[in-house]
Amino acid sequence: MERADEKRFRILVCIDGSEESYRGLRYAARLGGGVDADICLLYVRPVDQGLRSGGLQARVVRENLLEWGLELPGTKHLMKGKEILTELGLMSDEWGQKMIHVDKLGDPLGDNSIEYSSEGGKKVTLKLEVAPDIVGGILEECEGGNYDLLIIGASERWNSRSYKTFWDPAVAQKVVTRAHCSVIVARELESGHGHLICTDGTENAIDVARKDAILAARCNCPISLITVVPEDVGETEAADILSRTKSAIEEEGLEVVESLLRTGDPVEGIAKAGADYSVIVIGRSKKRRRWWLFETDISDQILERASNSVMIVR
């Protein structure tokens, strides 16, 4: 595993060839536009179990494809990602490049990456990795590469709210639950509509708001705040929550363009108000609950309910 330069802002974008993943990449390009940020595009290929391809190793098929001059699906998706970054002016064909191959899990194709770097030290890396399962591969890269932010496209299944999502969660759902860094789950992700930061006035929520405000400033995204309180909570108390969060952000020299106060069910309120923004931002609860098996974090419920992108800040 490579050692990350701790001062640099590192974004990991999961690419699976879907339009959602490329939207996530475009957003990453805005967030990681500065010279102090690196972007890594990751495609994870699950290792073949053998039985599925009838006992003939999948590598035989892949090698045959390569001999016909046809690249593997992951390569195609990653190269499209590179083209998008070039079109956006984030990288150019003149950048230096370094190829790295690592044998892994007995797979001859193993892990492959191409690292493009500018003279100023900015890096864009394309990674085609093999892992026992896709989620494991993403998480391994996320932890090993010490990323600040992970962007992954949402699965359609997530919104279906079927029992299956509990028993067999979609890839993005599993990644959100287990990732150690902040995660953006991309749904119709478009920049320009700003970040809506959720706050309940706790130290954790204020910290999350501060962190995201700094991130939003990277792409000049307008920052808005929202708090949703129960009916019986006084307006003064709710206004105080917003005011404390706003002050914390302003201490960083950043501006809050609007503050929304809603009453009622927080999940419903946030999902409804958040539909007009690029991203709804919420922190992951730090509390270790005794009834973790039966209760879900509010951030999970918002992820499920929201129709647009959600960022979970850790």
Kindly tell me which of 133 and 203 has the beta carbon lying closer to other proteins: 133
Which residue carries 């404390």 as its tokens? 244
Binder among 1, 2, 5, 61 for other proteins (CB under 8 A):
61
Which of 137-153 are b and which e, b meaning 16 or more Cβ less than 10 Å from the residue's Cβ?
bbbebbeebbbbbbbbb
For 226, the token pair is 């929202």
Kindly tell me which of 35 and 70 has the beta carbon lying closer to other proteins: 70
Does 163 contact other proteins by CB under 8 A?
no
262: which strand partners? Answer: 228
Binder among 2, 76, 92, 144 for other proteins (CB under 8 A):
76
The type of residue at 21 is S
Q: How far is CA 43 from CA 113, 141, 161, in A?
A: 10, 11, 27
* Residues numbered 193-212 forming contacts with other proteins, rule: CB under 8 A: none
Binder among 3, 6, 7, 68 for other proteins (CB under 8 A):
68
Binder among 4, 8, 33, 73 for other proteins (CB under 8 A):
73
Q: Is 33 helix (H, G, I), strand (E, B) or coil?
A: coil
Kindly tell me which of 36 and 107 has the beta carbon lying closer to other proteins: 107
Q: CA-CA distance, 273 to 270, in Å (whole number)?
A: 5
Q: CA-CA distance, 278 to 223, in Å (whole number)?
A: 11
Angle at 243 (CA atoms; ends 28, 247), nearest 5 degrees: 60
Q: What x-and-dash track marks residues 253-292 binding other proteins by CB under 8 A? A: -----------------------------------x---x
Does 244 contact other proteins by CB under 8 A?
no
Binder among 4, 58, 84, 217 for other proteins (CB under 8 A):
58
Does 53 contact other proteins by CB under 8 A?
yes
Binder among 133, 250, 255, 295 for other proteins (CB under 8 A):
133
Does 178 contact other proteins by CB under 8 A?
yes
For 44, the token pair is 């994870």
Burial of 18 (0-12, 13-18, 19+ CB in 10 A): middle
For 195, the token pair is 């970040």
Kindly tell me which of 35 and 66 has the beta carbon lying closer to other proteins: 66
Site for other proteins, rule CB under 8 A: 17, 48-62, 64-65, 67-68, 70, 72-74, 76-77, 108, 133, 136, 174, 177-178, 288, 292
